[in-house]
Amino acid sequence: MEDIEVFVAVIETGSQTAAARRLGRSLQAVNRSLAALEQSVGVELVRRTTRKSFATEAGLAFYRRVKPAIAEIAEARVEASSRRIEPSGLLRIAAPVLFGSTYVVPAIADFMARYPRIEADLRVSDQPIHLVGGGFDLAVRIRELPDSSLKTRRLGEIRTVVYASPDYFARHGRPRHPDDLVRHRCILRSTSEGETEAWRFRISGRVRTIRVTGCFSTDNTSSAQAAACQGLGIGYGPYWQIRHHLDRGALKTVLEDFEAPRMPVHAVFPPSGMPPAKTRLFADLLAERLKRERL
């Protein structure tokens, strides 16, 4: 293991001297480990010059295979040692408003019951938050994430559904295809009456957007659901947000065969180092709870 760690450090730093500094070892010890590894695998892994070291073709292939394993072993060591100590201190979390109150708060309550030395600070907002600048340990984000330096973990995924009241369907009929929505009144999430918006669907194996219009618009999720329950039109949004209306029969879903790809729920961590035990354990708990929910 030590020899492989030396090899990885040499490749990543570009020289044996730099690798020795990174590992806190002598240059002689680094040279011995590199030579021993090459002897054991029977092939030259690193081409040395007076100033630089770089991987041979065989060395590059070897590096690609062992690097993930080394990272896993390092994380396993940290995780094993951290579990000897009960998590404690302040855990700062950011989450969307409704998702935070519905799912994150119960998870925090469960977590604090398990680990009494934990304190929690939850900030809820539907606007983007600065994870590092805000000093957060973890943020919950419901969307596809762009590539960034932030570390992420997928916690679950959310259905997006089309719904309306039984009364609306009795008066106007049920759409059988997303294209039928252009002939229906839809509830818009905007501030301008009559404005169009686009709803996503999977049609014939491809994701398409359908432009819809309506006579009622709102910038509030609860108001949009209430409008649908009153028969003002067809709504569109996350399944988990209307589940209680579905369970009591106030709303019905349609176009299930055309639902858009599910939206991922991610835990996002700051980029520096490995998340502390309290953060990783809370992400584990939240992921386990979300698996049991109808999202």
Instruction: With cut-offs at 50, 70 and 90, classify the pLDDT of residue 194.
Output: very low
**Close Cβ partners of 69 (under 8 Å, ≥ 6 residues apart):** none
Residue 39 reports pLDDT greater than 80: yes
Structure tokens at 25: 């070892």
Q: 82, 102, 137: which is the final residue of a domain?
A: 82
Question: Are 43 and 17 part of one and the same domain?
Answer: yes
Judged by average pLDDT, the poorest of 12-16, 88-92, 103-107, 271-275 is 271-275
Q: 82, 115, 132: which is the final residue of a domain?
A: 82
pLDDT in tens, 94-104: 999 999 999 99
Return the SS3 of 238.
strand
Exposed, middle or buried: residue 257 (CB in 10 Å: 0-12, 13-18, 19+)?
Answer: exposed
Question: Are 187 and 210 part of one and the same domain?
Answer: yes
Q: Please, what is the Cα angle at 147 between 144 and 148, to 5 degrees? A: 120
Q: 59, 82, 105: which is the final residue of a domain?
A: 82
Domain extent at residue 189: 160-258
Contact 251, 228 (CB under 8 A): yes
Q: In the predicted model, what is the mean pLDDT of residues 44-49?
A: 84
151: domain CATH number is 3.40.190.10
Question: Are 21 and 75 part of one and the same domain?
Answer: yes
168: domain CATH number is 3.40.190.290
Provide the domain count of the chain.
3
Question: Are 172 and 248 part of one and the same domain?
Answer: yes
pLDDT in tens, 214-228: 989 998 889 999 999
- What is the reported pTM? 0.65
Contacts by residues 19-24 (CB-CB < 8 Å, ≥ 24 positions apart): 19/53
